[in-house]
Amino acid sequence: MSTALLALFAVILCILFRILNVNSAPQKPLLICKDEGFLSTVLKIAPAITEPYKPTRLWGFSGHVQTIVHSIIGRVRCPWPIGERVYMGLADETTLTYDLYQPLSNTHEDDVTIAICPGIGNSSESVYIRTFVHFAQCHGYRCAVLNHVGALSSVKVTSPRIFTYGHTDDYHTMLKNLMERHPSTKIVCVGFSLGGNLVTKYMGEQGVNKASNIIGAISICQGYNALEGTKYLLNWTNFRRFYLYIMTESVRNIILRHKNVLLSEDVKKKHNLNEKEIVSAATLPELDEAYTRKVHNFKSVKDLYKWSSSLFYLHNIAAPVVFVNALDDPIIHESLLEPVKDLATTKMQVLYVQLAHGGHLGFYEGGLLYPNPITWLDRTLVALVGSLTLAHSDRALKSY
């Protein structure tokens, strides 16, 4: 009996070690950048991207655990930064808000604002956003965080819409208001996951009167192509269907929380919405078929996804941009990363940073079981903002 128990214990340990991937070793990020001058400037402030990333030893080498810990627990010793909530009434009667946080130190000659676009259904109150904002404030940066319409339970939805995957108007409105308040500030756009897609699409949209103060952008853990990405999320390989379920529930809960406005009888009649179909939708494509594409007047979900995907706007980007992805991100299939790798090999002022580990927005580092309070992502993003600021200053000197 004892032998059988020992054998069972050994099997459990082997499975656990396999799941946690503990045999892996820290690896240096893969850097792809055609522009050697731009890369050299970035590395002056952000040498961390050339050094091995060291995940938390016992569980940090698992992309699933990194992702789940980030989603459920968030950051260690997470602060709650103090800022000002800005309210704006839009022409379509939407109440748009963003939170503005002033720097806590005077460590820079330049006035720099980090304009943050959070992930799906997230806001300034999301734990990973709060931690990054506080860390950036302590390093002398102002931060502006877009609150996706519908994401804050404390802010009522006042028009029959919430955020979408590709509409960049809300982000642009925040930037315009920000420049009215701080006309001389230099802006670095930072987007996480869905926010990374929105920021990238915004940077590449033609005919859009983008904020003139933008000096660069950083995208973290986006999938670039919703058309192809959704196909992978719809199968159970690497448990992607589980993550799709979580995202579907998040968006549906937002819709139902504000159903008095979003699903009023007038709105349902105008857009031919069936509430039962919305409530019973099992996946995001089903929910987008029942709700999103109808409210935003797309003929099909395919049309909505193609229009929303930043992939189709990459080559129009003129400002410096840094893309960050993890190879073990359980939500983003590896094949989705190829187009942005190709972009970094052909386009100037583009840097692609790929980590072997980190999961989806996790990037915990240090420690055996208990990670460092500041993640690799937080400290590296602050350094990359500094790098883009330096690159802008160098270009200004050369043009002068």
Instruction: Answer whether residue 13 is part of any domain.
Output: no
Question: Do 114 and 237 reside in the same domain of the chain?
Answer: no
Span 361-387, pLDDT tens digits? 999 999 999 999 899 999 999 999 999
The pLDDT score that the predictor gives to residue 1 is 45
Question: Do 233 and 332 reside in the same domain of the chain?
Answer: no
Question: How far is the CA of 142 from the CAs of 100, 104, 118, in angstroms?
Answer: 8, 8, 16
| 118 closest CA partner among 154, 142, 149, 153 | 149
> Considering 252, 279, 308, which residue would you say is the last residue of a domain?
308
CB 189 within 8 A of CB 115: yes
Alpha-carbon distance of 22 to 348, in angstroms, equals 38
Is residue 393 pLDDT above 70, yes or no? yes
Number of domains forming the structure of the chain: 2
Question: Do 77 and 144 reside in the same domain of the chain?
Answer: yes
Span 81-94, pLDDT tens digits? 999 999 999 999 99
pLDDT band at 400 (very low <50, low <70, confident <90, very high): low
Is residue 177 pLDDT above 60, yes or no? yes
The pLDDT score that the predictor gives to residue 56 is 95
Q: By residue range, what is the domain housing residue 303? A: 226-308
pLDDT band at 109 (very low <50, low <70, confident <90, very high): confident
Span 304-351, pLDDT tens digits? 999 999 999 999 999 999 999 999 999 999 999 999 999 999 999 999
Question: Do 117 and 145 reside in the same domain of the chain?
Answer: yes
Is residue 388 pLDDT above 70, yes or no? yes
Instruction: Answer whether residue 16 is part of any domain.
Output: no
Is residue 277 pLDDT above 80, yes or no? yes
Mean pLDDT of 34-54: 97
Question: Do 177 and 269 reside in the same domain of the chain?
Answer: no
Instruction: Answer whether residue 216 is part of any domain.
Output: yes
The pLDDT score that the predictor gives to residue 260 is 96
Q: Please report, for the domain that includes residue 156, its CATH number.
A: 3.40.50.1820
Alpha-carbon distance of 25 to 300, in angstroms, equals 45
The pLDDT score that the predictor gives to residue 7 is 41
> Considering 308, 334, 356, which residue would you say is the last residue of a domain?
308
- Considering only CA atoms, give the Rg of the chain: 21
Question: Do 161 and 102 reside in the same domain of the chain?
Answer: yes
Is residue 172 pLDDT above 90, yes or no? yes
pLDDT band at 210 (very low <50, low <70, confident <90, very high): confident
Across 19-28, 67-76, 167-176, 231-240, the highest mean pLDDT is recorded for 167-176
* Element spanning 191, H or E: strand 186-192
> Considering 252, 277, 308, which residue would you say is the last residue of a domain?
308
Catalytic sites, residue numbers = 193, 329, 360
* Percentage of residues of the chain with pLDDT beyond 90: 84
Question: Do 145 and 187 reside in the same domain of the chain?
Answer: yes
Question: Do 106 and 202 reside in the same domain of the chain?
Answer: yes
Mean of the per-residue pLDDT values of the chain: 92
Cβ-count burial of 58 within 10 angstroms (0-12 exposed, 13-18 middle, 19+ buried)?
Answer: middle
Instruction: Answer whether residue 254 is part of any domain.
Output: yes
Question: Do 168 and 59 reside in the same domain of the chain?
Answer: yes
* Weakest mean pLDDT among 9-13, 177-181, 276-280: 9-13
Handedness of CA 179, 220, 250, 75 (dihedral sign): negative
Instruction: Answer whether residue 188 is part of any domain.
Output: yes
* Weakest mean pLDDT among 141-145, 204-208, 227-231, 349-353: 204-208
Instruction: Answer whether residue 15 is part of any domain.
Output: no
The pLDDT score that the predictor gives to residue 398 is 73
Is residue 282 pLDDT above 50, yes or no? yes
Instruction: Answer whether residue 257 is part of any domain.
Output: yes
Span 213-272, pLDDT tens digits? 999 999 999 999 999 999 999 998 888 999 999 999 999 999 999 999 999 999 999 999
Cut 0.75: pTM above it:
yes
Alpha-carbon distance of 196 to 323, in angstroms, equals 9
Question: Do 123 and 53 reside in the same domain of the chain?
Answer: yes
Mean pLDDT of 10-35: 71
Question: Do 220 and 230 reside in the same domain of the chain?
Answer: no
Is residue 5 pLDDT above 70, yes or no? no
Mean pLDDT of 191-212: 91
The residue with greater pLDDT, 238 or 14, is 238
Question: Do 129 and 253 reside in the same domain of the chain?
Answer: no
Is residue 62 pLDDT above 60, yes or no? yes
CB 163 within 8 A of CB 150: yes
Instruction: Answer whether residue 20 is part of any domain.
Output: no
